Amino acid sequence: MVDWALAAQTGALLVRGGPQVPREEAEAAVTDLRELTMEAEGHVRQLTNLGLDLPLLPGEVVDRPGWVRSAAAGLDALTGRALPQQGGPFGPILAGGAGVQTGLVLAFLASRVLGQYDPFGGPDREGRLLLVAPNVVAAERAMDVPGHDFRLWVCLHECTHRLQFTAVTWLRDYFADEVERLVSGLAGGGSDSLADLVGRLPEAIKQGPKLNLAELLQSPKERAVFDRLLALSTLLEGHADFVMDAVGPRVVPSVDTIRARFTARRKGGGVFDRLLRALLGVDAKIRQYEEGAKFTKHVVDAVGMEGFNAVWRSPNTLPSRAEIADPAAWVRRLHG
């Protein structure tokens, strides 16, 4: 349904260039980022007790087109099992149109992503930690913060994601299976009739802005999968944000300034930029950081890091969407 090769070509062609940086400064930033991933992951392991026996590996530093190509390949690997191939004479045309649209989205995001751990990326699809050097440099300049401190702070977040998927051995397959269930249902068109959708309108009116259009159109089965995925992604993002700030004061001298300016920057942008972020779900992603970090902090404060690490025991110990909003309920379920 999506021509991922065309998506990668389109996004790489349309993405804006990064900031103008002298060659020596650019090379220093690339070297710094690559080496800091190993230092950062060491700090994360000490705090979380995750992956203590795993090898410390450097990250990969890419430019914006490189991120686009990697993101397209990772999405292809993640959704390839679930998305049906378009048959008939119009199949390639439809897939190409979807590829161009996806490329446009990737081009927009490529100028904003600082780093990413793709558990399905790389030549063997075993995971790939990427840092987008021009975006990191642009952000540290815009916020006027120390470059080395900011790079280490970013690496703390991304290395937490890498540990989540490498130290928790079942998580990668669980995530892929849940995505396949959701995408298969959506691609299959679902089984709900117009009467089913109308029947869910009272709930939508009652919940108001808490329920978006995508959730309204989902069948109850799809909604259950969506809720599990939303809770998981909120946990992963919030956990990474909590870790970067918990480690930060010990190893990042300017962490308080960085966090304050970075939080303000997340909410900034012009009207058009904010509209695009809302349409693409970027603002929802920001809320995930905040909600997930609150959940993590509450649990760690209540039962300590080892108590929090019970979330990684199995899919059954992951918090539900309701428990993300009510972390005390998760604590009672696991530790009560």
pLDDT tens-digit map of 248-295: 899 999 999 999 999 888 766 555 555 555 555 556 667 788 899 999
Residues of the chain with pLDDT under 70: 81-91, 186-219, 267-285
Write b or e for each residue in 131-141: b if 16 or more Cβ atoms lie within 10 A of its Cβ, otherwise e.
bbbbbbbbbbe
Distance CA 104, CA 319 (A): 34
Q: pLDDT at position 260, please?
A: 93
Domain count, the chain: 1
What residues make up the domain containing 172?
4-335
pLDDT tens digit sequence for 6-46: 999 999 999 988 888 888 988 999 999 999 999 999 999 99
DSSP 218: S
Name beta bridge partners: 129: 117
DSSP 68: H
The pTM of the full predicted model, rounded to 2 decimals, is: 0.84
Q: pLDDT at position 223, please?
A: 81
